[in-house]
Amino acid sequence: MTFFVTGESHSGDLGGLAGADATCQRLATEVGAGDSTWRAYLSAYRTVTEPAVNARDRIGNGPWHNARGVMIAPSVADLHGDIQRDRDLIYRATALTESGELVNGRVRPEGTNNEHDMLTGSDSHGRSFPHGRVFPPAVPATRNQQNLTCNNWTYGGPDGSAMIGHHGRLSSFNTSWNSSHATSGCSLEKFNETGGAGRFYCFALD
């Protein structure tokens, strides 16, 4: 296994990229896959002291397989459709947790919540958004909403915003696995409102 969706929920405060990476490493270790170095598929916006970070640059070269051995993508270019769109194989049936479990999407057991929103902070090519970009437009936009990363994954309050993707590729708006729409806040409760549970993708770097 070199790819999974986190099997636990979070707010937008993941402890930064380092904290998110540590979560991926811990979850992988719990199921016997801790020998690899794991990275969270998350971008971070540029600050006065730190450059922007692109999710696609953090995850190695591939290929990546889920807990059942299904190849998600053979390379970074295929994962992001650099040469040809939809060359990856991320769907609800393949975007499994570290334990090999399905994550609820629009298709789900009766009486359970839709949790198809995956935190990424990224555009469809896996790159950070320019600071100040708000998508979809929000007026007035708060400072926290302007970076689409819940303040670089350090904020879990009711305002702010994060870009998410749809692991099930089902949506009335945008079916991208990594860049579908913004959340309405950074708390777990706000994530729930738009169909998420603060889950994110983890990839093995090596």
Question: Which of the four pLDDT bands, split at 50, 70 and 90, describes residue 140?
Answer: very low
Question: Are 170 and 114 a contacting pair, CB within 8 Å?
Answer: no
Decide if pLDDT at 152 tops 90: yes
Q: Which residues have C-beta within 8 Å of that of residue 178, sequence separation ≥ 6?
A: 41, 55, 80, 118, 120, 122, 124, 126, 165, 201
Question: Are 42 and 122 a contacting pair, CB within 8 Å?
Answer: yes
Per residue in 53-106, pLDDT tens?
999 999 999 999 999 999 999 999 999 988 777 678 899 999 999 999 999 887
pLDDT for the residue 85 = 74
Decide if pLDDT at 186 tops 80: yes
Q: Closest Cα partner for 145 from 134, 129, 131? A: 134
- pLDDT winner (highest mean) among 39-43, 50-54, 89-93, 109-113: 39-43
| Domains present along the chain, CATH in parentheses | 1-206 (3.10.100.10)
Rounded Cα gap, residues 88 and 166, in angstroms: 13
Decide if pLDDT at 169 tops 90: no
**CA angle at residue 18 from 135 to 28, to 5 degrees?**
100
Tell me the average pLDDT of the chain: 89
Amino acid at 67: A
Q: Which residues have C-beta within 8 Å of that of residue 37, sequence separation ≥ 6?
A: 25, 204, 205, 206
Amino acid at 112: T
Question: Which of the four pLDDT bands, split at 50, 70 and 90, describes residue 121?
Answer: very high
pLDDT for the residue 139 = 43
Look at the block and give the residue holding tokens 């994962």: 79
Question: Which of the four pLDDT bands, split at 50, 70 and 90, describes residue 110?
Answer: confident
> Percent of the chain having pLDDT more than 90?
70
